[in-house]
Chain A
Amino acid sequence: MAENTVQDVQAKEPLFGKKERKLLTDPLDDNNPITVQVLGICSALAVTSLVLPSLVISIAVVFVCAFSSLITSLVRNAIPSQVRMIVQLVIIASLVTIVELTLKAFNYPVYKQLSVYIGLIITNCIVMGRLEAFAMANKPWRSFLDGVGNGLGYGAILLIVAVVREVFGKGSLFAGSPLEMKFIGATNEYMINTTTSDWFGWYSNNNLMVLPAAAMFVIGILIWIQRSRNPKLVDIS
């Protein structure tokens, strides 16, 4: 009898069933942490002026979100409810420190570029939000997937915003990486007297795009587009 029950449970919860897939794909669209839940806006505004830092931050958030969910879920029954937020915070902070130390040892230039923002992942509402809302009440594997999904959902929006801002704001793409592209014709208007610059052309860089306010507009437009094609998201009131 006992063996049967175990098998039943396993049959009901496949490793990668429909529900599990939904955990990964849901945060990309229907339940996107940035455009639908409007969480993690602070870092989405701050780091998205260039693609490379956004990419590194996204990878770091996927890692932190996934493993903090996994760890929290593993110990969820042992965590005293009085101090659960602090425990979650310690788990997140430790993982962020691991990311920071690893980056410092293996890719120092990127660490230099990002140092402050890496630390800010600790305060990213998405991570803690998923721990509190999902990992505390679900099994480890599903929590892990939920963490990966939400990290990816966050990263996807970050990259879209960063591409728009970097192309229109700086006339480049992937600046600072080996893939760096500069668009011929982009004008470096605020250095107009610099004869050494060969970036003159028909397009004048939009300085507004460089400022965090531009990220707000881009995210706003993304939310608009998303809601117009996805009727599920429109508030009925």
Chain B
Amino acid sequence: MSTSYVVRFVLIMTTLVAVLLTVLFLGLKDQSAVNEAIFNKRAILASVKDHLPEGMVHEDLTDDQVQEIFSSRVEQVALNMSGQSLESADIVASGYKGGKAENIDMAKEKKKEEAERILPLYVYNADGGKFYIMSVRGNGLWDEIWGNIALQDDLNTVAGAAFDHRGETPGLGAEIKDNPGFAAQFKGKKIYDAKGQFTSIDVVKGGADKGAIHAVDGISGATVTADGVDEMLRRGISYYEPYFNQIKSSNPGLSN
């Protein structure tokens, strides 16, 4: 077959395929975006799954219920690294058209210089009080890991945590998500010691001491992932410290 036939064939084929895939992509884009937003909101609510409105169970939440809880009970705050809360216009200026904290893409933020990052903070108003939900992101063994950690309104005690990952080994590193026992350990742990020093929560290889309030058990066979969670928490939570300090200084009762 002649060269010109080959060139024509390839050109026509490529154009056809490109048009087909573009049409499909554009047609499904909105649906995918809605799915993604709900998926993320569900993950955020997983960190306060013990404090959901009466009669709701996290695993059984419908998409509408997730949206409903978010619009009626969650205040979204976006912060810069020095703890100032950002206006909607600032969020848009950082590249997120929606202009809300929920639009912030943690994966994109992780690639920025540390000082230029912006952070979402979700203040969840439960029947029993306020919860502050932080988003953190770090590296596991194979790929990124991330999570949401909820603090009680003393800004010290963890009310719950939920983790996810992109490519950790199922049964080993993936247990940070798959095993409800791992995230459940964080409940009741504290991120500040008695002197008010930030301690984070250590993920300890071989098991934390009984009764430790700043540590949880690691996962045997998944040391690198567990170390990743440890590092992610220490760094990720510390980003929120400036803002927490501001709240504390305006509410002297909170400082501990």
Contact = CB atoms under 8 A, between A and B. Distances in A.
B170 A83 contact: no
Interface in B81-108: none
Interface string B1-27: 100011001100110010011001100
B221 to A, nearest CB: 6
Given A79-B9, A80-B5, A210-B170, A105 B184 contact: no
Given A49-B171, A188-B179, A207-B221, A94 B21 contact: yes
B13 A193 contact: no
Interface in B177-195: 178-182, 184-185
Nearest to A94: B17
Contacts of A82: 1, 6
Interface stretch (A61-69, A96-104, A142-150): A96-104
A211 B220 CA distance: 14
Contact of B32 (A81, A108, A191, A194): A108
B217 A193 contact: yes
B182 A194 contact: yes
A198 to B, nearest CB: 9
A109 interface: yes
A84 B13 CA distance: 12
Contact-residue bracket for chain A: 35 or more
B39 A193 contact: no
B35 A190 contact: no
Contact of A83 (B6, B35, B172, B222): B6
Interface string B199-242: 00000000110000000010111100000000000000000000
B167 A116 contact: yes
Given A194-B217, A210-B172, A102 B9 contact: no
Interface string A93-125: 010011001101110110010011000000000
Most A CB contacts (10 A, CB to CB) among B169, B170, B172, B180 go to B170
Given A49-B170, A94-B21, A188 B32 contact: no
Interface of B: 1, 5-6, 9-10, 13-14, 17, 20-21, 24-25, 28, 31-32, 35-36, 38-39, 166-167, 169-172, 175, 178-182, 184-185, 207-208, 217, 219-222
The 9 closest A-B pairs by CB, nearest first: A210-B171, A108-B35, A194-B181, A105-B28, A197-B181, A105-B31, A49-B170, A190-B220, A80-B6
23 contacts: A80-B9, A81-B1, A87-B9, A90-B14, A94-B17, A105-B28, A106-B31, A108-B39, A109-B39, A175-B178, A190-B219, A190-B221, A190-B222, A191-B181, A191-B217, A192-B207, A193-B217, A194-B184, A194-B217, A196-B181, A205-B171, A207-B221, A211-B172
